[in-house]
Amino acid sequence: MATVTRENIGLLNDKITVKVSQEDYLPNFEKAVKHFSKNANIPGFRKGQVPAGMIKKMSGPAIFQDEVLKTVEKELMGYLQQEKLEIFAQPLSTDTEAKQLDYAQPAEYDFSFEVGLKPTFEVTPLNGKTSLTRYSVKVTDDMVNQELERLQLKGGKMTEPETVTSEDNVLNIEFLESDSKGNVAEGTEKKENSLLLKYFAPAVQEKLQGKKAGDTLVIQLSKAFDKERLEFIAKDLGLDANDKDAVKKYFQLTITKVGLIEKRELNEEFFKEVYPGQDITTEEAFRAKLKEEIGKYWKQEATNHLHNDLFETLVHETPIELPKEFLKRWLQKGGEKPKTAEEAEHEYPNFDHQLRWTLISDKLIRENSLEVSFEELKENARAKIMGYYGLGGEQAEWLDSYLERLLQDEKYVDQTYREMITQKLFDWAETKVNVKEEEITAEEFVKLPHKHHHHEH
């Protein structure tokens, strides 16, 4: 009779040993040999008439090993179910050497496995004592003006004036590395870029006024742009913005084209283009709509920020003990391809973070009966499609059949379900902490520190 024994070898880490004797696996081995002899196609023998001895000679070792391992696996899985052991991943075999299994001399074999046990824990941050902040970003007239100008430029028409006259001029420029006099070494690589005049430092803007296509100018990179612009210009030129010497280099600039975007007029045609089907006819109504949309955007950002704080608080402040050493060994051996101890060590922090979240979210979803019905999922998908295609109240004929097709895609349904259940979980968890409201500016919001790791959900 097979026996299964278990001993504790570390925190939430047990070793399970399965012992099997010949009476456990031999009947199955003989059965498998019979099955083979019935179905084998071997030259010189009629089908189904191959002697068992012949099968054993040819495939015995492989069939024997297969049957022994199947018996062991059945015993192990039966034991885990019977004991109701909640384990991580799969049991890891701890036998370092391959066993010598000989079908001609069946014997008693023992196989040992290591398992990591799931911990029991309480989600303590949701006991009403945790305080978090929901920020609300004040939408200013300035924000509305900037967005209005961005949309006017985006929908505007590009013209090509003779000379540079406005800070809104778009300059197509060739950069060539040179000395301070503008002498270019032979074989220097040419880099092209397109920049608004207002991106340059004031002194350089002055020098560029009145220039036209074909004109040149020598600049020192660090003095020609402010810190923020310098970073992306340096990157475009293949330089490191933090390298003091690199940004002190001189470049000869040649203007290849002067452009100017004519801003769109604020009229009904423009309002309809930006917000189709909304019946906006005046600048006042257009600005009000912009303000509302900007407000929606920041409200969503504020919710994401609160949920991110909530996520990190739950992950980092819920006391969960994990069998770390076992999990690191599992990372090494349990995947599709083996990893080195260094790789497992390097991957562990992220894995640990994700694992804690999985344990916490599974527990909260289960204990609070949170669920997403198929109807809710369908409505969510419908709203997403309508938003994406800019459909207002009117229903497009193709929408229903498109939706049907989409909902047959398992991957899409699975991903949407996960997003929605996570959203429900956060909305529920939010009611279990003290949320204080605080109004701040968009600039302050962008600079807010993120708790621990940033999490996108």
Residue 293 has pLDDT above 80, yes or no: yes
Mean pLDDT across the chain: 90
**Cross-strand partners of 260:** 159, 169
List C-alpha distances in Å: 74 to 33, 106, 402: 20, 19, 45
pLDDT of residue 278: 83
Is the separation of the CB atoms in 328 and 345 below 8 Å?
A: yes
CB atoms within 10 A of CB 440: 16
Residue 455 has pLDDT above 60, yes or no: no
At 162-190, the pLDDT tens digits run 999 998 899 999 999 999 999 998 889 99
Residue 403 has pLDDT above 80, yes or no: yes
What is the C-alpha separation between 219 and 177, in angstroms, rounded? 10
59, burial (CB in 10 Å: exposed 0-12, middle 13-18, buried 19+)? middle
At 136-167, the pLDDT tens digits run 999 999 999 999 999 998 889 989 999 999 98
CB atoms within 10 A of CB 441: 13
Residue 263 has pLDDT above 80, yes or no: yes
At 52-97, the pLDDT tens digits run 888 888 888 899 999 999 999 999 999 999 999 989 878 988 886 7
What is the C-alpha separation between 421 and 362, in angstroms, rounded? 10
Q: Band of the pLDDT at 313, cuts 50, 70, 90?
A: very high
Q: Average pLDDT of 328-332?
A: 91
pTM (whole model) above 0.85: no
Q: Average pLDDT of 268-285?
A: 90
Residue 454 has pLDDT above 70, yes or no: no
What is the C-alpha separation between 381 and 387, in angstroms, rounded? 10
pLDDT of residue 390: 67
pLDDT of residue 47: 77
Is the separation of the CB atoms in 306 and 133 below 8 Å?
A: yes
Q: Average pLDDT of 25-37?
A: 89
Provide the percentage of residues in the chain whose pLDDT is more than 90: 67
In this predicted structure, which of 96-100, 111-115, 273-277, 343-347 has the lowest mean pLDDT?
96-100
Residue 251 has pLDDT above 50, yes or no: yes
Greater confidence (46 vs 157) lies with 157
Residue 296 has pLDDT above 60, yes or no: yes
At 331-390, the pLDDT tens digits run 998 777 889 999 999 999 999 999 999 999 999 999 999 999 999 999 999 888 887 776
